[in-house]
Amino acid sequence: MIRAIRACKTAAEERTVVRKECAAIRDTINENDQDYRHRNLAKLMFIHMLGYPTHFGQMECLKLIASPGFPEKRIGYLGLMLLLDERQEVLMLVTNSLKQYPVSIRNSFCFCILAFFYSDFQTNLNHTNQYIVGLALCALGNICSAEMARDLAPEVERLLQFRDPNVRKKAALCTIRIIKKVPDLAENFINSAAGLLREKHHGVLITGVQLCTELSKVCGEALEYFRMKCTEGLVRNLKDLVNSPYSPEYDVGGITDPFLHIRLLKLLRVLGEGDADASDCMNDILAQVATKTESNKVAGNAILYECVQTIMSVEDNGGLRVLAINILGRFLSNRDNNIRYVALNMLIKAVAADAQAVQRHRATILECVKDSDASIQKRALELVYSLVNESNVKSLTKELIDYLEVSDQDFRGDLTSKICSIVAKFAPEKIWYIDQMLKVLSEAGNFVKDEVWHSVIVVISNASDLHGYTVRALYRALQTSVEQESLVRVAVWCIGEYGDILVKNVGMLDLEDPITVTESDALDVVEMTVKRHASDLTTKAMALVALLKLCSRFPSCSERIRNVIIQYKGNLLLELQQRSIEFNRIIANYQNIRSILVERMPVLDEANFVGRRDGSLPGTASTPTGPSVNLPNGVTKTSVAPLVDLLDLNSDEAPAPSSSGGDLLQDLLGVDLPSTSEQFG
């Protein structure tokens, strides 16, 4: 059957083969063929793993479990665990029918399951075949429901003291399933679980430690009991394990039973968290594990990682924390990407506990930002961001911007976002902020979000003594980075506002190189922007506004500016068409008020902008300031008060809008408008 399925070329062929096999299995089930029952169930398990329905074969699992032979039982239990789960009705039959048998049969957990399937097992309550008991425990540990857990918890608790270690081990794992399904039963297993911690058999001990860990997580009483009674024993077990000689039975890569190492460390982490006494008891052994474990092997690294997690979770010990962070620093130099990734994750959590110790590994962390693996890059960038403070912001920002120049396109978005956030949060002075943001805009302006270049404009408008320096720096940057859209927008805005400062070299700083810019040069930059095909609507609209403003700043170039603007009066984009017509009319007919219309923008409210951006202040643009008039269909019309405020007019002296609105519009546009009676007949 497997060969036939694998030989199929298409999914349709596979479905045909599976349908034929399922039909043959149904016929065999109807004939009650006992000789081929285990083969049929094996086929059903393979078909189930391919994703096809196999519910018609569920009862075959129960029949095989009831068979006298061990091989049939094994296949039956395997099918039971694979084909069924706790929601199946067949398992509900098992649970309900267990109560129909005598008490003498129900005294044993494994035979509670078996008694449902064959009644002649009643005389074998003390059966010595631990493998049959183990099969039942495995099945219960995989598919146990809450009802089965409540009914069979006493039998499982008894089997925790069974004579065979394999049965005790499987009973402990089954108990974990029970307490996850019914946490209220956890307190019944506390004493039995504590007894497993004294086992010498590693298989039983590791499951006992795992059981105690789960009990501590779901039951406060168990947690306190293990802290008081078992902490010293666990420390002793871990110490014996660390100092144990070579044991071929448990050796993995030169380390004795690393799996038990890790389980013990996890349990100690749970016991030591929030308890100073338990933490003091385990400090010495944690230091031994951290110093004695070899870090050049995978098993050793796994143990060290768990040891670091335990050290960072237990109560404060400065020396141990520094030791743990140094281990993570060594992990960062490992060639294995997985080890570096988990080290970065752990260091992100360690920053809150001891940022100074993590700062010592800053150079290594910065190297991880430049790694070729995308996951390591992102984690390292998050860690660098958490390490930035007022004292190291300049050096870290320089490193990140230098890497921005050579970084991959896929990573530039995240890197740019973090750099902008760092600069905005920790900038010591505005000139440094402007310099760094100009570098980012020049290198990765297309990856910058709108709110970032908005905030740059706000900061520039508030730095009155740096207007000249900023506009000259932007003019220089625009000569080489015209393809960066965000840089172009900021530069065009600044040239429109401070073009006269650019031409006259006002506010020249000592650190600047001399630059000569004529009015024609400044106009060339803006004209190139508005005519560039790659510029989007926002950039071209800002360029047109800048040209209008430069018309007032450079009166001698008015005609040239008007010729550029008028080219867009027939543009397909309505926004550009409207601006072109309006701006052309202002240039042609309103020379007397043009300088007032296009004067420099007032200083923007930086604190208010930052508050709205961060969400700490509500936006005010959408809140009407005057009374509203309710119109039909849910439409709201605001009064003229906001318009009066916008035009800086006195509301007491504002004329009534009823008759003068047409006259104002007629004066502004310079056209003759028909009266209301003429428009509407």
CB-CB contact of 133 with 127 (8 Å): yes
Name the DSSP class of 446. Answer: G
Residue 108's pLDDT band, with cuts at 50, 70 and 90, is very low
398 contact partners, CB below 8 Å, separation of at least 6? none
Judge whether residue 343 has pLDDT over 80: yes
Judge whether residue 168 has pLDDT over 60: yes
Judge whether residue 270 has pLDDT over 70: yes
Domain range summary for the chain, segments of one domain joined by +: 85-225, 429-623, 627-681
The mean per-residue pLDDT over the stretch 172-177 comes to 93
Give the tens place of pLDDT for each residue, 129-155. 778 778 888 888 888 788 878 877 888
End-to-end CA gap in the chain: 88
CA-wise closest residue to 567 among 550, 548, 583, 580: 580
* pLDDT at 441 (0 to 100): 93
* pLDDT at 506 (0 to 100): 87
Q: Residue 649's CB: how many other CB atoms inside 10 A? A: 13
Residue with token string 């400062």? 501
Pick 216 or 621 by higher pLDDT: 216
Pick 475 or 680 by higher pLDDT: 475
Judge whether residue 673 has pLDDT over 80: no
609 contact partners, CB below 8 Å, separation of at least 6? 454, 455, 458
Q: What's the chain's average pLDDT?
A: 82
- CA dist., res. 388 & res. 428, Å (int): 13
Judge whether residue 472 has pLDDT over 60: yes
Residue 85's pLDDT band, with cuts at 50, 70 and 90, is low
* pLDDT at 519 (0 to 100): 92
* pLDDT at 623 (0 to 100): 38
Alpha helix positions (H), 445-573: 450-462, 467-480, 485-504, 519-531, 537-553, 558-566
Show the tokens assigned to 2.
Answer: 């497997």
Residue 115's identity, in one-letter code, is: A
State residue 242 phi and psi, 5-degree precision.
-65, -40
Report percent pLDDT > 90 for the chain: 51
Give the tens place of pLDDT for each residue, 370-395. 998 999 999 999 999 999 999 999 99
The mean per-residue pLDDT over the stretch 480-502 comes to 92
- CA dist., res. 207 & res. 626, Å (int): 72
Judge whether residue 665 has pLDDT over 50: no
- CA dist., res. 377 & res. 569, Å (int): 49
CB-CB contact of 114 with 132 (8 Å): yes
Judge whether residue 307 has pLDDT over 80: yes
Residue with token string 């003291």? 161
Backbone conformation region of residue 51, classed left if phi is above 0, alpha if psi is from -120 to 50, else beta: left
Q: Coil, strand or helix: which one is 85?
A: coil
Q: How far is CA 336 from CA 5, 298, 330, 376, in A?
A: 39, 10, 12, 11
Residue 419's pLDDT band, with cuts at 50, 70 and 90, is very high
Give the tens place of pLDDT for each residue, 274-284. 899 999 999 99
Name the DSSP class of 256. Answer: E
One fold for 85-225 and 429-623: yes
Q: How far is CA 423 from CA 190, 209, 426, in A?
A: 55, 49, 6
Judge whether residue 124 has pLDDT over 70: no
Residue 462's identity, in one-letter code, is: N
Class of domain 429-623: mainly alpha
Judge whether residue 217 has pLDDT over 60: yes
* pLDDT at 92 (0 to 100): 54
| Rg, Å, the chain Cα set | 39
Residue with token string 């509500």? 618
Judge whether residue 347 has pLDDT over 50: yes
Name the DSSP class of 67. Answer: S
CA-wise closest residue to 242 among 286, 204, 289, 299: 289
* pLDDT at 125 (0 to 100): 27
Judge whether residue 359 has pLDDT over 70: yes
The mean per-residue pLDDT over the stretch 27-46 comes to 85
Give the tens place of pLDDT for each residue, 587-638. 888 888 888 888 888 888 877 777 776 665 554 443 333 333 343 333 344 4
CATH number of 85-225: 1.25.10.10
- CA dist., res. 471 & res. 441, Å (int): 14
* pLDDT at 354 (0 to 100): 86
Cα 531 from chain centroid (whole Å): 42
* pLDDT at 28 (0 to 100): 86
Contacts 24+ apart (CB under 8 A), 49-54: 49/82, 50/5, 50/14, 50/18, 52/18, 52/22, 54/22, 54/83
